[in-house]
Amino acid sequence: MDSSMMLANKQVVLKNYVEGYPKESDFEVRSSMISSHIPQRSKGLFVKNLYLACDPYMRHRMSHHISKDVPLLASFNPGFIKYTDVPLSYYAGILGMPGLAAYIGFNNLCSAKEGDVVYVSSAAGGVGQLVGQFAKMEGCYVVGSTSTDEKVHLLKSQLGFDDAFNYKQGNDLAGALKRHFPKGIDVYFENVGGNMLDEVLLHMNLNGRIAVSGMISQYNLKKPDGIHNLFCLISKRLRMEGFSELDFRHKVPEYLEFAIQLIREKKLLFVEDIAEGLENAASAFLVFIMGEMSESRSFKFQLTEKLKNLGENKKILCFKAIC
């Protein structure tokens, strides 16, 4: 085959199933050569990843007992980018899976109304920062928790949260919840799990709603934390429901139309952190999963000159991918 038809293909491979906290040695960067040849009159597409999103759920799928139960997608329909007046990276974030998860979780499960007190854990994450803004649009009082004072400032100064707190400060979660929610919580958007969920149950109001989007505190534990206050579901008539955005892909057009107008009007913001180069993916993921990043991460890739010059007879689709 003509060597000009061959392109370098770089991959990050999970070498081992992960137990406990992931290590850089659990990953390996591999390179190979792939053919860019597409037969004439073919319906095939040559695809190059430009952005890959790094999201907390990825850690969950690195565990042996989980990966065997999660079906892998053998094929998909990426589609073309509809809106080109926003950063391409948004399709791996606010216009991608995190955005849809926030939209579905808040609108379909929370049943929030004006005046409700809404609590968002992991509020500076890709999902949490959007949920807080959606809640403010509904006229709710919104409080978020996060892991650093820098993120607290981000939530209050840029993302419009009414209040926020560093849950690691003082090692007194019960006291922090009591201070920030003197009249209780009507809606809790759950991203953390474990002790956070257990304590929040005690502070929920009658007929409160809990949307369970993730449980990032549990992903690195060999034995998950137990929840002791579940009787609150009965005594407080609470509704707690988990969900996956995978079940709502039919809502993507609706969400994109909703979000794009708000983005254009600068009424919906998204804070992202972009790491350059696939070879840095493993180290960036470890920093993110340890809670040091203020938001979702995306990995950016540059088009090679060889790909740019493939010519008009090639079908090239550049799209976002959630890894």
Query: What secondary structure, in 3-state letters, does 239-274 show?
Result: EEEECCHHHHHHHHHHHHHHHHHHHHCCCCCCCCEE
3-class SS at 140? coil
pLDDT per position as a tens digit, 128-158: 999 999 999 999 999 999 989 999 999 999 9
**38 pLDDT band (50/70/90 cuts)?**
confident
Percent of the chain predicted with pLDDT > 90: 50
Highest mean pLDDT among 67-71, 84-88, 284-288, 317-321: 84-88
**Domain map (residue ranges) of the chain:** 3-68+272-322, 94-264
Cα separation, 131 vs 212, in Å, equals 12
- The answer to whether 163 and 143 have CB atoms below 8 angstroms apart is yes
Q: Return phi, psi of residue 231, to 5°.
A: -60, -20
66 has pLDDT over 70: no
Write down the pTM of the prediction: 0.82
H/E segment holding residue 58? helix 57-60
pLDDT per position as a tens digit, 172-208: 999 999 999 999 999 999 999 999 999 999 999 999 9
pLDDT score, position 298? 54
Cα separation, 98 vs 125, in Å, equals 9
**293 pLDDT band (50/70/90 cuts)?**
very low
CATH number of 3-68+272-322: 3.90.180.10
Third-level CATH fold of 94-264? Rossmann fold (3.40.50)
